[in-house]
Amino acid sequence: MAHGPNPKSREPIFNVPPVIVATVAVLVGVHAFRMFALSETEDTRLLLAFAFIPARYSTDPLLHGSLPGGFGADLWTFFTYAFLHADLLHIGLNLAWLIPFGTALARRFGAWRYVLFMLVTAAAGAFAQLISMPGADVPMIGASAAISGAMAAAMRFIFQPHGPLETWRDATGNDEAYHIPAVPLLATFRDVRFLLFLAVWMGLNALFGLGAVSFGSEPGQQIAWQAHIGGFFAGLVLFTAFDPVVPRAELDTEPSA
């Protein structure tokens, strides 16, 4: 008997969850609005109100009082900076990392857990920037810290047997691969594949920190490597708090029937 095309026959890489499509649309839309709807003066005012600027929290009244937004901006900039990007290269690179790692996370967490997780790791990245560069008056923008958190969270489950990396070529788009129980955090640090990924990722950020790799010297173009690291380790540690899947350790301790 002949069968029609299987609706699940699309390659998983093209089966991006709606919340990821929405994330991309928001980031691109914000950048397009800044490019085409705002003057240079208006864009500068927007950056000062919504970018993350450590000087906003300085005890120096001249620094603290010079930035717009007041107390509200003291709170919202921990999150809003992630929606702003310096240029097309900046947003393009971030989207290139967001789509694969964000997709893995959204398929596992669901839309609302994914959104909340990304906001929390964005705030963690901003906090890391704040404590490492107190008083700095250069605006920090970009979704890199939140995406770093998504990368770290994905490391907790993508390497598991029958997980996403093992089944990504499966044309059925098997969603069960994204719900494989994750191993405990300490076990993750014993996985050679994770350690290799971590070494490369930390090495790149070390190059950014030493100035050996840079996308430019203008505000918004320097790499906020401290925020990357803050978002990454927040994602690694906080993964369990957001994960709806029963951890492998709990499954292993359940009595047999």
pTM above threshold 0.85: no
pLDDT of residue 248: 54
Cα 41 from Cα 230, distance rounded (Å):
32
**Mean pLDDT by 10-residue block, N- to C-terminus, for the chain (257 residues)?**
47 74 97 96 94 86 70 93 94 94 94 97 96 89 96 90 66 69 88 91 75 46 82 96 74 42
CB-CB neighbours of 42 under 10 Å: 11
pLDDT of residue 35: 95
Cα 39 from Cα 92, distance rounded (Å):
22
CATH ID of 12-243, from 1.20.1540.10, 1.50.40.10, 3.20.20.70, 3.30.70.890: 1.20.1540.10
pLDDT of residue 247: 62
Strand partners, 121: none
N-term to C-term CA, the chain: 41
Q: Would you list the domain boundaries of the chain?
A: 12-243
DSSP for the chain, please give it. ---PPPTT-S-GGG---HHHHHHHHHHHHHHHHHHHH--HHHHHHHHHHHSB-GGGG-S-HHHHTTSTTHHHHHHHHHHHGGG--SSHHHHHHHHHHHHHHHHHHHHHH-HHHHHHHHHHHHHHHHHHHHHHSTT--S-B--SHHHHHHHHHHHHTTTTSTTSHHHHTT-TT--GGGGGSPPPPHHHHTT-HHHHHHHHHHHHHHHHHHHTSS-S-SSTTTS--HHHHHHHHHHHHHHHHHH--SPPHHHHHHSPP-
pLDDT of residue 253: 42
Strand partners, 52: 140
